[in-house]
Structure 1
Amino acid sequence: MTTTEPAATPAAPALIPIAQRAQAPVQVRLPADTHGLRWRPLTPQDVPALTRLVTRIEEADAEPFRTSQDEVDEKFEGGWKDHARDTLAGVDADGELRAWAQVNQPPGDTTVVRAYLDGGVDPAWRGRGIGREVLAWEIDRARQLLAATGKDVPGRIGGFASEQATATIALLQAGGLTPIRVYSEMRRPLGTDLPDVAAPDGVRIVPWSQDRDDDVLAAHNEAFASHWGSEPQTVESWRAGRSQFAPAWSLLAVDDATDEVAGYLLSGRYEQDWELAGHSSGYVELLGVRPAWRRRGIAPALLAAVMARLAQDGIEYAEIGVDTENLSGALGLYTALGFAPFHRSSLYTIEL
């Protein structure tokens, strides 16, 4: 009897250095001054004006949310950001902001280095070619940031667009970005028939506490290590952007035997969205279970527990976002617990 060994899987071709793949320009392309705008970096002093501009853009694009001034202020958090080089403001003759942009390269990226694009043009100033030139500046700066990481792993330039923001979608596609992932926002009413899901034996659900935040970060990085599009967070990036964080609606699943954090659910409270939506809501920002504790019912127990807390506080809906192609079964879990989609967006990228 003879045996044959399976053929070896061909090795993936080695990537050329990120500095070459990024094709970073020496100088970024600034928008033309013929539009009647003066171009400069954003500063923290621009936060009130930038908030007004972001609101006008969200209204014009029929977004189901509004970005608060506190959230705009958070765009300047993070010691890894170079605001003088990573932001752009277009200011008219009266000193009002009419266009803005920011490129962010998260500091913890290891397997894919990413540069995210954010920005927009005042609806009253659209149709003049400003958006195309701002996007060109963003892509140039993103290429510079990716090249500067020196991390010879795949690279990604990405920007998000809601499904109804057709002008933004057309702009991104004209700039060479293509849709790669679809995300769905889901909600569930809390008035009746809340799920009753107990924590599994040996695990207790407890409130989030500041003294366990480092443990939650470690659990998050482990839980999301295999998720598409996720990269490790640093301590600084983890603790940034918490103006809407709701500790009272955030929970931990703790192993009784080891006192380890097995899973976690972190929520946000976006009161500025409630009038627009016509109801109050609590938003589940992050939900994760570490691999050793999976398939024991921890995720549904955390969701059931937070829904009960929200309802007790008089909140009308629970909301959560999901990657529709998530292989963990998250979409099926949320659907089974009564969540239904109400908004979709896509990630558009240039893959390097």
Structure 2
Amino acid sequence: MARTDLRASLAERAAAPAVLPALTAGGLTWRPATRDDVDALLELRNLVAETDGEPYRESREELLEILDAPWHRLDTDSVLGHDAAGALRAYGYVETMPGDTARVRAFLWGAVHPDRRGEGIGRQLFAWQEARARQLLAATGKDLPGRLAGFLEDTAPAAKVRLFERAGFTPRRFYSDLERDLRDLAAHPLPVVELDDGLRLVPLGEEHDEPARLAHNDAFRDHWGSEPQTREQWRSGRSTYAPEWSFVVVDPAPDVDALLADPATDAETAAALRAGEPLVVGYQIAARYTADFAVRGYPFGYTDILGVRRGYRGRKVAVALLAAAMRAFAADGMAVAALDVDTQNPSGAHGLYASLGYRKRHGSRLLTIEL
């Protein structure tokens, strides 16, 4: 990856246009999205997912969480294109994250109705999104590296891939959607893990929620592309959260003095230790994506986030969490356990999942322009 020249400010590197490109293709009428558009937007997004072979569908509750997220400025960062009859035919929006501290990111999301492709709508919409993303990065006031980013499923149509390529986006990261069959645990048993030094695996209760966020920010500090999550971000998007499938590993007697003296201990964790709050050292947060069951052809339990504090790696914490989750999935009649992993994960997670019987079902990639 080419190094970003930080001698210029982010505002200069972003090269944001003063005026956004016009949206004229296809004779559509454009306006910002609102919460009232949820049903039309849901119908379009799921039609696109079906047409393009994507392995998931969205629920109304999930989409409302996106529209309602307090850091989303729909009035300036989103557009919907309607035809003469008022039917939604295209959408696009740009998302920035409030917790970014090392690199400021702007994500581009959008699609065109399958019946209206090939009219130049997607090209103009993508140009609008990129221009708006550059404006947002330039306006942050953060003199940090910047990134324009977008995701593509492996099944994405060639025309959409070309949009990214022509704009100068380059594939940076590849992700695998993995599954582990749970239908015959007698023949393919799950591991039994004994944690050492008093570590305890317990269900994720409300008292563990904030400690789990702190553990997450520590666990993902060395992961490519990851940025700290604020409390607001961490608490958002919970319509699919499955607490009955979620677990944490807690150290009930941490060496507080040693942790406070360790320069790798972040300020928020240090404050929590001084306050005597629980020290979560690993977490597995699960989700129930019922809208996807029909797409996959069977019910499944999904590990949304898994992480282990860096100082506690190598102690079978992740294996214990995954085994507990898979047992909970199976007890509820789920046919498989599923999750998504960065194929270059620095913690060796891909090898861990393979050793537990996970196999690839689908893939996606992240494409970026580094600023």
Mapped pair 1:251 → 2:270: no
> Which residue of 1 is the match for residue 236 of structure 2?
240
Offset from partner CA, 1:259-292 (integer Å, 9 cap, x none): 4101000011101111111111011110000112
Mapped pair 1:296 → 2:315: yes
When structure 1 is superposed on structure 2, of 63-72 and 181-190 the one drifting more is: 63-72
> Which residue of 1 is the match for residue 354 of structure 2?
335
Residue identity in the other structure for 1:15: R
Mapped pair 1:155 → 2:155: no
Question: Does the 8 Å CA contact 1:78/1:236 hold for their aligned counterparts?
Answer: no
Mapped to 2, the partners of 1:327 and 1:216 lie a distance apart of 20
Mapped pair 1:194 → 2:185: no
Residue 252 (structure 1) shift = 0.4
Question: Does the 8 Å CA contact 1:41/1:89 hold for their aligned counterparts?
Answer: yes
Mapped pair 1:53 → 2:44: yes
Change (3 A) 1:78 1:125: same
Mapped to 2, the partners of 1:343 and 1:30 lie a distance apart of 36
Q: For 1:131-150, what aligned pairs fall within 5 Å after superposition? A: 131-150=122-141
Q: What is the TM-score with the length of structure 2 in the denominator?
A: 0.89
Residue 212 (structure 1) shift = 2.0
Mapped pair 1:265 → 2:284: yes
Change (3 A) 1:211 1:160: same
Residue 79 (structure 1) shift = 2.0
> Which residue of 2 is the match for residue 4 of structure 1?
none
Mapped pair 1:217 → 2:208: no
Question: Does the 8 Å CA contact 2:92/2:129 hold for their aligned counterparts?
Answer: yes
Mapped to 1, the partners of 2:308 and 2:68 lie a distance apart of 28
RMSD of equivalent CA atoms: 1.4
Task: Name stretches of at least 5 consecutive residues in structure 1 with no aligned partner.
Answer: 1-11
Residue identity in the other structure for 1:188: R
Mapped to 1, the partners of 2:147 and 2:251 lie a distance apart of 37
Residue identity in the other structure for 2:369: I
Mapped to 1, the partners of 2:281 and 2:20 lie a distance apart of 45
Question: Does the 8 Å CA contact 1:87/1:102 hold for their aligned counterparts?
Answer: yes
Residue identity in the other structure for 2:53: A
Residue 14 (structure 1) shift = 4.1
Mapped pair 1:17 → 2:18: no
Residue identity in the other structure for 1:29: P
Change (3 A) 1:249 1:30: farther
Offset from partner CA, 1:221-245 (integer Å, 9 cap, x none): 1111111010001111111111111
Q: The residue matched to 2:67 in structure 1 has which SS?
A: coil
Q: The residue matched to 1:349 in structure 2 has which SS?
A: strand
When structure 1 is superposed on structure 2, of 304-313 and 165-174 the one drifting more is: 165-174
Mapped to 2, the partners of 1:220 and 1:234 lie a distance apart of 11
Q: Which residue of the other structure, out of 96, 112, 115, is the alignment partner of 1:121?
A: 112
Question: Does the 8 Å CA contact 1:77/1:241 hold for their aligned counterparts?
Answer: no
Q: The residue matched to 1:45 in structure 2 has which SS?
A: helix
Mapped to 1, the partners of 2:148 and 2:194 lie a distance apart of 40
Residue identity in the other structure for 1:283: Y
Mapped pair 1:27 → 2:25: no
Q: The residue matched to 1:76 in structure 2 has which SS?
A: helix
Q: The residue matched to 2:122 in structure 1 has which SS?
A: helix
Mapped pair 1:183 → 2:179: no
Residue 31 (structure 1) shift = 1.2
Question: Does the 8 Å CA contact 1:181/1:346 hold for their aligned counterparts?
Answer: yes
Offset from partner CA, 1:319-346 (integer Å, 9 cap, x none): 0101001121000000000000010001
Residue 318 (structure 1) shift = 0.3
Q: Which consecutive segments of 4 or more residues in structure 1 shift more than 4 A?
A: none
Offset from partner CA, 1:9-30 (integer Å, 9 cap, x none): xxx9643210100111112113
Q: Percent identity?
A: 47
Mapped pair 1:102 → 2:93: yes
Residue 256 (structure 1) shift = 2.7
Task: Name stretches of at least 5 consecutive residues in structure 2 with no aligned partner.
Answer: 255-277
Mapped to 2, the partners of 1:72 and 1:105 lie a distance apart of 17
Residue 313 (structure 1) shift = 0.9
> Which residue of 1 is the match for residue 262 of structure 2?
none
Mapped to 1, the partners of 2:33 and 2:289 lie a distance apart of 25
Q: For 1:163-182, what aligned pairs fall within 5 Å after superposition? A: 163-167=154-158, 168-182=160-174
> Which residue of 1 is the match for residue 370 of structure 2?
351
Question: Does the 8 Å CA contact 1:132/1:175 hold for their aligned counterparts?
Answer: no
Mapped pair 1:205 → 2:196: no
Change (3 A) 1:331 1:147: same
Change (3 A) 1:199 1:115: farther
Q: What is the TM-score with the length of structure 1 in the denominator?
A: 0.94
Residue 171 (structure 1) shift = 1.9
Mapped to 2, the partners of 1:104 and 1:199 lie a distance apart of 42
Mapped pair 1:81 → 2:66: no
Question: Does the 8 Å CA contact 1:18/1:152 hold for their aligned counterparts?
Answer: yes
